[in-house]
Structure 1
Amino acid sequence: MSSNQLSARTLESLLGDWRTGGSAYRALADRIRLLTLDGRIPTDSRLPAERDLGTRLGLSRTTVTAAYRQLRDAGYLHSVQGSGSVARLPGVSVAADAAAPGAVLDLGQAVLPAWPGLAEVAALAAADLPTHLTGSGFDPVGLPELREAIADRYRARGLPTEPNQIMVTVGAQHAIALLARVLINRGDRVLVETPTYPHAYEALRAAGGRLMPVSVTAALPGADAGWDEPALLQTIQRSNPVLGYLMPDFQNPTGQSMPVAQRERVLAAAARQGTVLISDETIGELDIDRAGEFGPFAASADPDRPDLAVTVGSVGKTVWGGLRVGWIRADPGLIRKLAAARLANDLGTPVLEQLIVTRLLRQLPDILESRRLLLRAGRDRLVSGLSERFPDWQLPRVDGGITLWVNLGRPVSSQLALAARAQGVLLPAGPRFGIDGAFERFLRIPFCYGPAEMPRALDALALAWESLLRHPLPDTGYLADVV
C-alpha cells in the first residue's frame, strides 16, 4: 500500500477547472495523467476511492470508474484489490544508466553529474570522523568547522558573516520548508516569483502562506527580460507580505539575474515594510559568462535591517544532488528560533556528510571553474541543437544556471510532455513552474546533461513535436488559455 494517500479534496484542488465539455471521464483521465507527468501527483500516491472522488466532484461513480480504467489501461494507474489505485508512470522504470536499452531519460531533474573528485574527498573526510564519535551526533545547527567554512565563503564573496549566522540543513529544500514553518502563520501573504521552483511554492503553501506572484521574464526576442519591478515593489508596499522567496541569480527556470541596483531597491522596500526576503542561491554561483560583479543578495541589504535578508544555499547543484547538505544564513536570533523548531522534525544533518562538505568548500573555486566549462558546452550544444531542429521556438539568452525556458510559440507544453514521454524522455510541462498552472507556451529544458544524453533528448523531442503537429492530442483545456 502506498504511504502517500491523496484525499478527494486534495485531488479536486489539483484538478482545477478540468471540465471542458465532451466526455467527462476522458477529461478527468487526461487531467490526472498530466498531473502525474508534471509530478503534482507523485508516483506511488494512492488516489481517492472512486465513490469518494465522484461525490467530491459531483460525478457518478461510473464516470470515475471509467476514468480510472482508462488510466489503468494506459499504464498510469495500478489497482490492487483492497489497496486502492496507485499512480504510476507507464513503461519501464527510470534507469540509473540513461543509455541502457529501454531506459527513460529523466530531464525533469536539472542536476549536474557528480563532481569527479567527490569520492576522493569523501574518503579523506572519513578519516576526520573518529574525532566526532564521542558525541551524540545530534546537532540542529551543524558542525562548528562547517559553519566556519560556510561563513568564510560568504566573507570571500564580500558578505561579512559569522558562524553563529549559519545553520546547516539537510539540503536546500529542507531549509526552505523550515523557514516557511517558522516565519509563516496560516493566511499570511507570501511574495513569490512566477514562474518559479515548484517545491519552494509547495513548501510555502503547505505552511499556510497566501501566495502573491510577481512575474519574471526570460530574455527572449522582443521581451523585457527580468523581474517586473513596479509589480514587485507594489506587492511589497501594498500587500505587506511577511515573507518573499526569490532566486536572484540564474533564476529557475528563466535563467535571469537581478541587477545589483534593483536588488538594493527591492531590499530597501522590504526593509520599510518589515518583509523577510529569502534568496535561494543554490545555483547562484553557476556562472558561465555573466558580465559584471554579483555578490550574494544579502550584501545589498538595507544597513538598518540586515536581519530581513535570509540566504539559502547548498552543494546539491554545484557538487552532487546526493550530497544532502544545505544551509541558512540569517540573523543569529532567527537561527536560534529555527534550531528550536527543527527539533520537532529532525535532530541534525549527518556528520560524515558535513565533514565532506567542509573539505569541499576549500576547493569550491576550482570546482566551480570545472562546472563552468561543462555548463558552457552544454548550453551551447543545446542552443545549437534546438535552433537547428525547432527554428520556430524562441530560445532565451542565458549566461549561467542550468536550464533554458523555451517559448514553444503555442500553448501545447503539457501535450508535448505527454508525447515526449512516449519517446522515452521525461520533461515537466510549463505549468509545473506556475502558480495554479500557467505557462502552457513554455518548456524548461536543462543543459546540464552530457554529450551522450543530448542527442537522444533532441531526437525524442523532434519525434514528439512531429507527432504533436501531425496528430494533436485531444484538448482537455489544461490551462491552455493561461499563458
Structure 2
Amino acid sequence: MMNRVLGARSLSRDLGNWQDEPGRRSTARPVYRALAAGIRLLVHDGRIPLGVALPSERELAAVLGLSRTTITSAYALLRDEGYLTSRQGSRSTVVLPDDARPNGLMFRPHQPGSGSAAGVVDLSYAAMAAPSEAVASAYDSALQQLPYFLSTHGMEPMGVEGLREVVAARYTARGVATSPDQIMITSGAQHALRLLLDAMTAPGERILVDHPTYPNALEAIRRVGARPVPVPVRPEGGGEMAWDLEGIRNAARQTAARMAYLIPDFHNPTGMCLDELGRAELTQIARDTRMLLVVDETMVDLWLDAPAPGPVAAHSRGGAKADMVTIGSTAKSFWGGLRVGWIRADPALITRLVGARAATDLGTPVMDQLAAAYLLANDTDVLEQRREQLRGQRATLLAALADRLPDWEPTVGTGGMSLWMRMTAPVSTALAASAPNHGAILAAGPRFGVEGAFERFLRIPYARSSEELVRGVDAIASAYDLLALDRTRAEPSLVV
C-alpha cells in the first residue's frame, strides 16, 4: 500500500511564517535552512506525523513560490539530519532520528508509589475525586434495588435494562432519538473501545486518531495489532478549525482506514470542541469512505464555557447506522472508581458485540450499574457543582503558570479537565522524569502522540485542588529551570 502523502497546501499552512526566526532577521540564514527548520519543528510538534510522505519538490516549490533547488536543498538537509528517508523513485518519508527519541534509560517514567516523597502532586491523570454525598446516595439506592436481582444469575452482557433506558433517554434529550436496544453497558469507556477493536478490526489495519489523543486509546489500538494513523489537531484554530477535516478525508482514502477514533467533545488533552458544521462533515466523511466512526464522549458533560453541540450521531442517517458508534462513561462526569461505560450503536452491531463480549467478561457488576443509573438520572446539581469547581481550578492553574512559566503557551479549551501546554524547549520526557524529585508527577507529551511526537508539549490537568495545582506548578517550574540550566551548560561556547 502506498504511503500517505501530505499535501503541499497543508504543509504551507502549518509552516506559517517559517522564514521568521525570533530575534533574527529573516535574511540571517539561508532560505533552505529556514524551511528545513520549519519542517523539523512540525515533526517534533506532531503536526507532520511519522511515516507520512512529504509533497514532491516541484509541488511544494510552486505552492511556496520558491525554486525547486531550494526545496531540494531543504529536503537534503533533513535527510542528512535523519528526519527523512527516501528510496529511488519514491517520495521522501518522515522519520525521527535515533538521537531525537527519548532515551529509555535516562528518562524512565516515574511510577506512583515507587518511593515518592509525601506531598508529591500527581498531575499524570485527568480525573477528579468523587462527589462523596452523591455517590453514597447512589449506592444506597442501588442496595435497595439489589434484592430484585438476587433471584437472577446476575450476568447482564447487554446491561441492566433500567440503566440502558436512562442512557437512551439522555441521548434522546440531546437531540438524537435512541432506544435501549441501541445501548450496551460496559465496564468503562476503555472497555467499550477494546470490545469494538476486538470485534471490528484485524491486525495490521489502520485506525485514524486525533493527534494528540488519549494515551490509553493508542495503547488499546496497538494491543490488537492495528496501526494508529495520526491526523493533527490544531488548537490555535479554535473549535471550528482545530480538526483538519480535509486531512481526515485524505488520510481515510490514502490508508483505507477501517475505523476512526476521535474525541470531538472537549478533546483530551486540548479541551477543544468540534462545532455543528464540523460534526456534519465528519459523519459525511465516514459515510463517503465507508469508515466506522467511533466518537468518544467521555468528556461531554464537562463543558466550562459553553455546552457541546448535539451528538455527532445526530448527523448519521437514521440516527444509529453501522458507520457510527458513540462511547461514553461515568468516570469523568462522576468518579473514575465507578467503572461503568456504554456503547451506542446500530442494534445489529450491539448484538454482535454482546456475542463477542463472552470472550472477555460476562457483564458489568449489577451494583455499579444501579448506582450509575441513579447518578445519571439525578445529575443536574452534581454536574454543575463539578463544572464550577473545574472553572475555579482552571483559573488558578492559568494564573500559576503565568507567574512561574510565562513563556509557556497554554491551549485553553472550552471544557474538559486539562491544559495542553507548549514549552519553549523539546524536553517533555526529561521533565516528566525529573519532576517527581521536585514534587510533581507528570505525563510526558509523547504519551499523547505516535512515535515520539510532542516533546515540546505537556498536559497539565486542573482536576486537583487549587492548593495542589499551585504546588504542582512550582515543582514543574523548578524542574524545568534546572533542565534549562543543564541545557545551557551543555551548549558549546562561542569562540571569538
TM class by smaller structure:
0.7 to 0.9
Superposed, 1:35-434 pairs within 5 Å as 35-37=108-110, 90-92=114-116, 102-116=118-132, 117-219=134-236, 226-290=242-306, 294-303=309-318, 306-434=321-449
| CA distance 1:284–1:345, shift in 2 (3 Å) | same
2:107 to 5, 12, 34: 34
The structure-2 alpha-carbon separation of the partners of 1:334 and 1:18, relative to structure 1 and needing over 3 Å to count, comes to: same
| Equivalent position SS for 1:191 | strand
Task: Report the 3-state secondary structure (helix = DSSP H, G, I; strand = E; otherwise coil) of the residue aligned with 2:466.
Answer: coil
**Corresponding residue SS for 2:236:** coil
Distance (Å, rounded) in 1 between the aligned partners of 2:97 and 2:427: 16
Question: Does the CA-based 8 Å contact 1:283-1:318 persist in structure 2?
Answer: yes
Gap change, CA 1:304 and 1:320, over 3 Å in 2 = closer
- Return closer, same or farther for 1:167/1:461 CA change in 2, 3 Å cut-off: same
Report the secondary structure of 1:34's partner residue.
coil
d(CA) in 1 for partners of 2:113, 2:370: 37
- The 1-side partners of 2:174 and 2:318 are apart by 18
Q: 1:220 to 1:240 in 2, by over 3 A?
A: closer
Residue 345 of structure 1, CA deviation: 1.0
User: Corresponding residue for 1:443?
Assistant: 458
- After superposition, the CA RMSD in angstroms is 2.4
3-state secondary structure, aligned to 1:176: helix
**TM-score normalised to the size of structure 2?**
0.75
> Are the structure 2 counterparts of residues 432 and 259 from structure 1 closer, same or farther at C-alpha, using a change threshold of 3 Å?
same
Cα–Cα, structure 1 residues 89 and 115, in superposed 2: closer, same or farther, change >3 Å? Answer: closer
CA spacing shift, 1:32–1:339, aligned 2, 3 Å: farther
TM-superposed deviation, 1:241: 1.3
The 1:189/1:19 distance shift into structure 2, 3 A limit, reads closer
Letter in 2 for 1:181: D
Equivalent AA in structure 1 for residue 412 of structure 2: R
Alignment-mate amino acid for residue 104 of structure 2:
R
**Following the alignment from structure 1 to structure 2, what is the Cα–Cα distance between the partners of residues 474 and 145?**
64
Q: Partners of 1:299 and 1:407 in 2: how far apart?
A: 34
- Alignment gaps of 5+ in structure 1: 1-15, 22-26, 38-42, 44-87, 93-100, 476-483
Report the CA distance between 1:36 and its aligned residue: 3.2
Contact kept in structure 1, 2:397 and 2:470, CA below 8 Å: no
Once the two structures are TM-superposed, the CA of residue 104 in structure 1 deviates from its matched residue by 2.9
Tell which deviates more after alignment, 388-397 or 140-149: 388-397
Distance 1:332-1:474 versus aligned 2 partners, 3 A rule = farther
Offset from partner CA, 1:227-285 (integer Å, 9 cap, x none): 12221111123333111000011111111111111111121121122211000000112
Which residue in the other structure is 2:46 paired with? none
CA 1:474–1:428: 2 relative to 1, 3 Å: farther
1:474 shift after superposition? 10
Contact persistence 2:431–2:483 (CA under 8 A): yes
Aligned partners of 2:444 and 2:458 also within 8 Å: yes
Task: Please say if 1:460 is aligned against 2:484.
Answer: no
SS of residue paired to 2:410 = coil
Output the CA distance in 2 between the equivalents of 1:254 and 1:174.
23
Q: 1:111 is aligned with what amino acid?
A: A
Q: After superposition, give the CA deviation of every residue in 1:429-462 in whole Å (9 maximum; x if it has no partner).
A: 1101011120000000001111231121122112
Instruction: Give the letter for the 1:119 counterpart.
Output: A
Unaligned residue ranges in structure 2 (runs of 5+): 1-94, 491-496
Structure 2 residue matching 1:395: 3-state secondary structure: strand
Match of 2:82 in 1: none
Q: 1:473 to 1:432 in 2, by over 3 A?
A: farther
State the AA in 2 paired with 1:36.
P
What displacement does 1:202 show? 1.3
AA aligned opposite 1:390 = L
Q: Does the 8 A contact of 1:275 with 1:308 survive in 2?
A: yes
Q: CA deviation at 1:203?
A: 0.9
Q: Which amino acid aligns with 1:298?
A: A
Which moves more between the two structures, 154-163 or 109-118?
Answer: 109-118
Mapped partners of 1:35, 1:235: distance in 2: 33
Contact kept, 8 Å, 1:324 with 1:353, in 2: the verdict is yes
Corresponding residue for 1:67? none
- In structure 2, relative to structure 1, the CA distance for the partners of 1:210 and 1:91 (3 Å cut) is same
- Cα 1:428–1:336 change in 2 (3 A) is same
Instruction: Give the 3 Å change call, closer, same or farther, for CA 407–174 of structure 1 in structure 2.
Output: same
Relative to structure 1, the CA distance from residue 203 to residue 218 in structure 2 (aligned partners, 3 Å threshold; closer, same or farther) is: same
Partner Cα separation in structure 1 for residue 139 and residue 317 of structure 2: 39
Q: CA 1:183–1:33 in structure 2 vs 1: closer, same or farther (change >3 Å)?
A: farther
Question: How has the CA–CA distance of structure 1 residues 325 and 430 changed in structure 2, closer, same or farther, with 3 Å as cutoff?
Answer: same
Three-state SS of the structure 2 residue aligned to 1:219 is helix
1:244 maps to amino acid? A
Structure 2 CA distance for aligned equivalents of residues 18 and 233 of structure 1: 29
Distance between the aligned counterparts of 2:391 and 2:96, measured in 1?
A: 41
Q: Are the counterparts in 2 of residues 219 and 256 from structure 1 also a CA contact under 8 Å? A: no
Deviating beyond 4 angstroms after TM superposition, the runs of 4 or more aligned structure 1 residues are 16-19
AA aligned to 2:176 is L
Q: Is the 8 A contact 2:176 2:319 kept in 1?
A: no
Identity of aligned residues (%): 40
Summarize the Cα distance change of 1:402–1:303 in structure 2 as closer, same or farther, 3 Å threshold.
Answer: same
Aligned equivalents of 2:190, 2:319: Cα separation in 1: 29
Q: Indicate how the Cα distance of structure 1 residues 18 and 322 shifts in structure 2: closer, same or farther if over 3 A, else same.
A: farther
Aligned residues of 1:189 and 1:241 also touching (Cα < 8 A): yes
**Aligned counterparts of 2:246 and 2:108: Cα–Cα separation in 1:** 33
Partner SS, residue 277 of structure 1: strand
- CA displacement at 1:305 relative to structure 2: 7.4
- Residues 405 and 448 (structure 1), Cα distance of their counterparts in 2 relative to 1, 3 Å cut: same
Alignment partners' CA distance in 2, 1:305 and 1:347: 25
Give the total of aligned pairs: 395
TM-score, normalized by length of structure 1? 0.77
SS at match of 1:160: coil
After superposition, the C-alpha distances for 1:78-121 in whole angstroms (9 at most, x for unaligned) are xxxxxxxxxx97533xxxxxxxx724321111101101321122
